[in-house]
Structure 1
Amino acid sequence: MSLVARLLVLLIALEHVGILVIEMFFWNTPFGQRSFNLTPEFAAQSAVLAANQGLYNGFLAAGLFWSLIAPKTMRHALKLFFLGCVLVAGLYGGLTSKTSILFVQALPAAIALAAVYLARDPD
């Protein structure tokens, strides 16, 4: 179970790197607009806000990567903390912005959080 938990944490971290890249670098491109179902006008108006959101997603990814390589005594707590942050952000986004965020961000974070909690060993 510990290996599964670590792989899920890695996948969530990679997902947030992907979100960072889209929000910070591709927001105003057709790919970014398709990814978030945006009009070109809205994308242009919200680009600075999206870049800020992308930076926050990068911090979540950095914390999750850190949780995989941190000293053994810290790994479990870091995984729980950063996955909890992703879960809360996903729930908030899903309830206030776009329902699909519940399935793209919150649900995977909840599954990874459960796997990490059930593994119970600090790796």
Structure 2
Amino acid sequence: MLAIILLLSGIIGLLHLIIMGLEMFSPAEKQADIFKMPLSFVKLPNAQIALKNMGIYNGCLGLSLLASLILFSGQQQFKVLMVLQFFVLIVGLYGGKTVTKSIYLIQALPAAITLLLILTQFV
């Protein structure tokens, strides 16, 4: 069970780095398609600033998840992972409600599963 928690946390961390890349470095056409937004909106300078800002947050969250796999161990590691997965869950729920429903499946569900596994293992 512990290996599954660590594996899922690593995958979720990598996923957030991919999301960061899409939000910060993808062409506007790809961003509009992926995030289900009108291209005319995504091309606006302020929309690009907002996407890049969200990218930084997703990148930091992804790096935090991956770093926690290296920097911590034992109970401490799982406490840190629990907090980070809770953050991912909240971000995923908000994104699913405000941006596109697919975020529920891509972001919120994996975080919820991982969080539940951590809670059943350590609480």
TM over 0.5, shorter chain: yes
When structure 1 is superposed on structure 2, of 35-44 and 84-93 the one drifting more is 35-44
| Structure 1 unaligned regions, length at least 5 | none
Residue in 2 that maps onto 1:18: 18
Once the two structures are TM-superposed, the CA of residue 69 in structure 1 deviates from its matched residue by 1.0
Once the two structures are TM-superposed, the CA of residue 64 in structure 1 deviates from its matched residue by 0.5
Question: Structure 2: how far apart are the matches of 1:96 and 1:37?
Answer: 11
Letter of the structure 1 residue corresponding to residue 116 of structure 2 = A
Q: 1:57 to 1:63 in 2, by over 3 A?
A: same
Letter of the structure 1 residue corresponding to residue 113 of structure 2 = I
Question: Structure 1: how far apart are the matches of 2:88 and 2:40?
Answer: 29
The answer (yes or no) to whether the contact 2:35–2:99 under 8 Å persists in 1 is no
The answer (yes or no) to whether the contact 1:93–1:101 under 8 Å persists in 2 is yes
- Residues matched between the structures, number: 120
Letter of the structure 1 residue corresponding to residue 71 of structure 2 = A
Once the two structures are TM-superposed, the CA of residue 52 in structure 1 deviates from its matched residue by 0.1
Residue in 2 that maps onto 1:9: 9
Residue in 2 that maps onto 1:33: 32
Residue in 2 that maps onto 1:52: 53
Residue in 2 that maps onto 1:100: 102
Once the two structures are TM-superposed, the CA of residue 26 in structure 1 deviates from its matched residue by 0.4
| Structure 2 unaligned regions, length at least 5 | none
Residue in 2 that maps onto 1:88: 90
Once the two structures are TM-superposed, the CA of residue 31 in structure 1 deviates from its matched residue by 2.6
What per-residue deviation string (whole Å, max 9, x for no partner) do you get for residues 49-94 of structure 1?
Answer: 0000000001110110122112325311110011000001111122
The answer (yes or no) to whether the contact 1:5–1:116 under 8 Å persists in 2 is yes
Identical residues among aligned pairs (%): 33
Question: Structure 2: how far apart are the matches of 1:67 and 1:15?
Answer: 15
Letter of the structure 2 residue corresponding to residue 53 of structure 1 = M
Residue in 2 that maps onto 1:119: 121
> What RMSD, in angstroms, separates the aligned Cα atoms of the two structures?
1.7
